[in-house]
Amino acid sequence: MQLPRGIKETLITVKYEQQAELAKALGADHVVNINNTDVREYVKDVTNGIGFDAVVETVGGAENFDTAMTIVRKQGAVVLVAGYYKPLEVNLSTIVWSEATITGSNCYGYSGMETDFEAAIELIDSGKVDATKLVTHSYPFEEIAEAFRVSADKSSGAVKGYLGPYKLCSPEKMLTMHSEIEKVLETAPPDHNHLEHNRHLDSVLINNLATHPAIIKRMASLYGPDLLLWRTNFFIKEPGAKEIPWHQDFNYWPLEPPIIISAWIAVDSATLENSCLQIVPGSHRKVVPHVKATSDMAFNQMGDLGFIDTSTIVSLEMQPGEFVLFNERTCITQKQIALINGVSV
């Protein structure tokens, strides 16, 4: 976390898990989720009852103001950055007894003759502040409404490592292509023995699917227009087939630099019952060690489950013709389709 000189320890309060992960990645010493932790008691414990030297209140509301006054040390500083849109009923005695200095900070203001925005741009442009980790989405201008919707919905997991599902084509259109795709997969490719790999090289149909404008448009909004299609795979999920273990794609693809964005397209309906793609949101922000896979897995290596938080799994159920995007470090899996008396479930 980039801090002014003299600051030795920081605490960040969050409401959503993606915020907690980002705060940790940026170097916060303490990250407190207000949904399950009493901030006042936590600060009392870690500071031996003294409180923090300075508190920056960014949320607003009487309760948060009172919390700020409770966790600041005597004669400390409280900076109010939040927008207060109506009068608050607060306990002024906390200000008297703490002897704290309270300062308002208008993030749209001026520092001398320079606006705060100009100062921020200068800091980022000079490299003194690295803001890249704060950028979770990029949208073309024509999708500005969607960008505002996502930014306003804090529970959407804006920092999550995947996007979608999006619509590539209608379910009916994808199902009409189904038989043609099967014909491709029944024909041996010209340069290797893997029926499911890199069929965009010998099939116009597969190439057109992989480079569909709906996919390229969104990839380009994230990575720019200089994109290279270097691999396609089909995952054919037969009942009783081995499970695809938790993994990060870049563990198997030694590219340099390791910058990959994958589009996972549903040719058939993808449901929990037939082993849809599952993802751990936010897992792309760290490298997960991979270990030797067990014999019931489809891959020879798998992510070490001790480093994967499976309590936040998202199951990406999709209709034919939908797709999702995820990057090379997003933890993904596809479970085995079980067999009961010869019937897949």
CATH number of the CATH domain containing 34: 3.90.180.10
Q: Specify the pLDDT at position 135.
A: 65
Residues 80 and 130 occupy one common structural domain: yes
- Domain-embedded: residue 85: yes
User: What would the pLDDT profile of 158-167 be if each residue is shown by its tens digit?
Assistant: 556 778 888 8
Mean pLDDT across 198-212: 92
Q: Specify the pLDDT at position 342.
A: 31
- Report the distance separating Cα 17 and Cα 159, nearest Å: 9
- Report the distance separating Cα 207 and Cα 52, nearest Å: 58
Number of structural domains (the chain) is: 2
Residue 274's nearest CA partner among 315, 325, 311, 245 is 315
Q: pTM for the full model?
A: 0.56
Residues 246 and 304 occupy one common structural domain: yes
Q: Is the pLDDT of residue 4 over 70?
A: no
Q: Specify the pLDDT at position 196.
A: 87
Mean pLDDT of the chain: 82
298 secondary structure, DSSP code: S
pLDDT: is 51 or 341 the higher one? 51
Mean pLDDT across 196-208: 91
Q: Specify the pLDDT at position 61.
A: 83
Q: Specify the pLDDT at position 139.
A: 60
Residues 326 and 231 occupy one common structural domain: yes
CATH code of the domain covering residue 260: 2.60.120.620
Residue 1 pLDDT grade (very low, low, confident, very high; cuts 50, 70, 90): very low
Residue 71's nearest CA partner among 42, 96, 97, 99 is 42
What's the domain range around 106? Answer: 11-137
Contacts of 150 (CB under 8 A, 6+ apart): 137, 156, 158
| 107-116, 255-264, 307-316: least confident range | 107-116
Q: Is the pLDDT of residue 109 over 80?
A: no
Residue that finishes a domain, picked among 102, 137, 172: 137
Residues 171 and 300 occupy one common structural domain: yes
Within the chain, where are the H helices?
17-25, 39-46, 62-71, 93-98, 116-126, 144-152, 171-186, 204-210, 213-223
Residues 168 and 121 occupy one common structural domain: no
